[in-house]
Amino acid sequence: MAPALRQAVSAWNQKEAGLVGTAAVIVGKALAAAAVRGSNAMVRAGLVSPEDRKYIGPAIVAGLPATLLGGYVANRVAQRYLNSGEELTPKKEEALIRASGVHKDTPVGVADDSDDAYFEPTGPLGEIRLGQNMSHPATLAHELGHASIHQGGGLSRVNQSWLRPLSFLPSAIAAGSVGPAAGLAWGPAAGLGLGALAGVVAGAPTLINEWQASSRAKDTLKALGPTPAQTKANHRDLHSAFGTYLTGAALPAAAIGLGAGLFKHFSKGSS
């Protein structure tokens, strides 16, 4: 869950800070260049007036740390709920695999990062990896949901394997164009709201895929004969994990849209 941020944090822990820093500078420069090109294209397309162009770059620069901070907070909040479920015993693991309908030989391994859990779509079965702190029935059931989508084929698998990874592109475009264009045209609130909406639309492949995996997980978890309290805790785990994806989808375009609107508002007020 939210593996990119956790990997970045654990990279610092592993004394690879220099490497991460260098990568951040390279990515930052590439983003700045993309922002200049993007803002020129937006002016040409009539989405942004020439005199508003100067607000786009600063909004993107300010929006990125805001996005990282917001993503971090969302993850911390979700993490408070993630350990609410019961422990995963080998017997429960077996029962969940059977109930999920995935192939009985679907491998369940250990993730390098103890706070991580993910599904690797390698080979016909794929592979589930659970970190030590993520060894809970709800987490396994969710990853089994991804495995059953992978093994089931069809449009859901196309979405999981292709549309979802490719959706970073429309998401980046939404963040860099819809957010600031709305913020500059109609003010900070519009930048925030329309940016968030555009981010959610662009991130739909991820959100649909995560929702599908969790709704399959809810069915799978019934196999353990949970008490109503356990069901409630499991669903809270799944919903808070989904919340991190929702935040991740909405935040970049919302933050940049808000920033563009605010920069314009305050620079007009002071001039």
Residue with smaller CB distance to Zn ion, 213 or 254:
213
Residue with smaller CB distance to Zn ion, 52 or 237:
237
* Alpha-carbon gap, residue 151 to 171, rounded angstroms: 27
Q: Closest separation between CB of residue 127 and Zn ion, Å?
A: 14
The interface with Zn ion within residues 211-270 (CB under 5 A) comprises 213
* Alpha-carbon gap, residue 94 to 105, rounded angstroms: 11
In DSSP notation, 55-83 reads GHHHHHHHHHHHHHHHHHHHHHHHHHHHT
Q: Closest separation between CB of residue 209 and Zn ion, Å?
A: 7
C-alpha 100, offset from chain centre = 24
* Alpha-carbon gap, residue 253 to 211, rounded angstroms: 21
Q: Closest separation between CB of residue 242 and Zn ion, Å?
A: 9
Residue with smaller CB distance to Zn ion, 188 or 248:
248
Per the DSSP assignment, residues forming a β-bridge with 110 are: 130
C-alpha 141, offset from chain centre = 19
The interface with Zn ion within residues 118-157 (CB under 5 A) comprises none
Residue with smaller CB distance to Zn ion, 52 or 116:
116
CB 155 within 8 A of CB 221: no
Q: Closest separation between CB of residue 54 and Zn ion, Å?
A: 40
Stretch that binds Zn ion, among 41-49, 52-60, 72-80, 204-212 (CB under 5 A): 204-212
Residue with smaller CB distance to Zn ion, 36 or 125:
125
Contact residues toward Zn ion (CB under 5 A) are 210, 213
